[in-house]
Amino acid sequence: MLEDKDLRSVQEVRTRVTEAYEAFLQYKSFSQEQVDAIVDAVAAAARANAESLARMAVEETGYGNVPDKVAKNLLNSDTLHRYIRPMKTVGILHEDEAQGLIEIAEPVGVIAAILPTTNPTSTAFYKSLIALKSGNAVVISPHPRANRCTCEASRILLEAAVAAGAPEGIIQCVNEATIAGTNELMRHKRTSIVLSTGGPGIVRAAYSSGKPALGVGPGNVPVLVDSSADVDEAVASVVDGKSFDFGTVCSSEQTLVIEESARDRVWAALKANDAFVCNEEQTAAIEALLITSDFRINPDCVGQSPQKIAEMAGFSVPLDARILALELWGIGRDYPLSAEKLSPVLSVYFVKSFEEGIEACRGVLNFGGRGHTCVIYSKDRERIKRYGVAMPAYRVLVNTSSPQGSTGITTNVAPAMTLGCGAIAGNSTSDNVGPLHLINIKRIAFKVREAEEAFTSEEGRRFMSGESLPQPAAVPVAAAPVSGAGISDAVSRYLAKRGLPTGSAPASAPAPVRSATPKPAASVASVVDRFLSGRARPADSAPAPTAVVAPPEEPRPPAPVIRSVAFVCEGDVRRARDTDQKIYIDSRTIVTPAARDLDSGDEIIIKTD
């Protein structure tokens, strides 16, 4: 028996991937009807165990609460199942005789499914269902803190799949997951694609595995309440979203942005919806507790109740408090509570206008949530569109709680637990990931035209008929006359700009002490004329001079002083990368985890000590 846990995990992964691949080779020949029957059975089993698995997840991880974990489980066994049920994912997807195209679905193979600790059973439902619907096998790697509940969920789903006719091994779960085992899963030769949900480190590992990967970015969701919105309704909806599973969903609301004129109404509405409003001293205590000195979230606070977080911060709140609300005085590196908090803590930020609100929301996203999700409450359609265009986020939700809207519970976006954040966050997609992301499409293409019919421009017609293509007309460039006097004048202006003598000095100015006497302007002109006389000019073939006297060498500027910055966030690294610059830090510099993960090759952030 292997004593090393990592070695055992690696060996188990190899065994499970092999078994999953063998099951896939059988499953890939199943018809759409057979696949749908299996997916139906798996979804039914997931629904039947939604509550027991939710309870197990809370007991094992200590994150979130049972009712909201049940809702997540039902999202991924009820809403998701209903959404993907009509999809055609097997065999011929589309046939267009007029266009001469036939499109055929090809499953990719074995899916490596990396799961988070915050949503351990609902994500197992989600990834298993979309993998089976797309004709693939799946190997699940649980988070070590959620191993028992994830493996139990996988066992229930596998039993239902096999009972409905699926091959044994079509759903696999690693019982002893470690970092070494997870890396082996992502890099295994039989793994076809990595579907990764979790923190920046595991997502970066997925993209670095050498396999195609679908991952996510961090969420830092801003919510703008426009002056046209009903403040009471908007705040009630925000509290519903922020309190959902104690803030563990990556698309949970983080900062509420609203105009100063609504200050009193906002605080009153928050209190009416059982939000505990923190005073300045309590806010400072929450900040010190929740965000560490290196801008990480205190893991002891993730997914905890408002009562427990308040107790940890040194004060108490009523038992009916659903969230903790506090005022934010700025956004960015000097205001840690403008970052993602993964807990039922809501920041409130007041602005003077709608335009200032847009800038504030953009600042929140750039501070750690680029590409993810943002929300607006408004009745003004033009303002909604302006907000949507301006936001660096790919889910712009309108008049809905963010966790419910982003995952497809209250909106018509695809139900999903993997929410892509696009290229601006280093992700390969901005979609809510579903079955169609896990198939490749083969195209049978018939000849529909002759080659000469493909080009319709005049250039294309002439090329296909063998004629010469017209050449673009040359643009004449007038040669500027060069003279010694002109260059002498330019040299004199250059020297004067730097306070150097140009041939004569004012009578009142003392002559500078120099190692060599500078040439006067007339002398410079004569040198230049002698130099030019030896150059090839139009209608001039004078021989080259035997020597060339160069003008005095310009003094070199002093070497730049490299100053280290005090703080680096994700937005700083992206700006430096886009402008081809470096960021210099020292041992005192605070660098956020998102910034370090983005600069994975240590090419942008340079340490000076």
- For residues 195 and 115, what is the distance between their CA atoms, to the nearest angstrom? 9
**Of 359-368, 372-381, 596-605, which range is least confident?**
596-605
Residue 282, CA distances (Å) to 279, 285, 286, 336, 594 in order = 5, 5, 6, 15, 27
Query: Percent of the chain, pLDDT > 70?
Result: 84
Whole-model pTM over 0.85: no
Confidence label for 470 from pLDDT (cuts 50, 70 and 90): confident
Catalytic residue among 250, 361, 421, 569: 250
Q: Is residue 71 classed as helix, strand or coil in its secondary structure?
A: helix
Residue 597 pLDDT exceeds 80: no
Query: Percent of the chain, pLDDT > 90?
Result: 68
Confidence label for 208 from pLDDT (cuts 50, 70 and 90): confident
Confidence label for 507 from pLDDT (cuts 50, 70 and 90): very low
Alpha helices in 134-178 (DSSP H): 147-163
497: how many CB neighbours lie within 10 A of its CB? 8
Domains contained in the chain, CATH given:
5-215+437-444 (3.40.605.10), 221-413 (3.40.309.10), 567-607 (no CATH)
Query: Rounded mean pLDDT of the chain?
Result: 87
For residue 539, the Cα-to-chain-centroid distance in whole angstroms is 64
pLDDT tens per residue, range 416-449: 999 999 999 888 899 999 999 999 999 999 999 9
Confidence label for 200 from pLDDT (cuts 50, 70 and 90): confident
pLDDT for the residue numbered 575: 82
- For residues 528 and 520, what is the distance between their CA atoms, to the nearest angstrom? 12
pLDDT tens per residue, range 246-299: 999 999 999 999 999 999 999 999 999 999 999 999 999 999 999 988 888 999
Confidence label for 504 from pLDDT (cuts 50, 70 and 90): very low
Residue 568 pLDDT exceeds 90: no
pLDDT tens per residue, range 318-371: 999 999 999 999 999 899 999 999 999 999 999 999 999 999 999 999 998 999
To the query of whether residue 278 is one of the catalytic residues in this protein, the response is no
Q: What is the mean pLDDT of residues 146-166?
A: 97
pLDDT tens per residue, range 11-45: 999 999 999 999 999 999 999 999 999 999 999 99
Are 573 and 583 in contact by the 8 Å Cβ rule? The answer is: yes
For residue 29, the Cα-to-chain-centroid distance in whole angstroms is 36
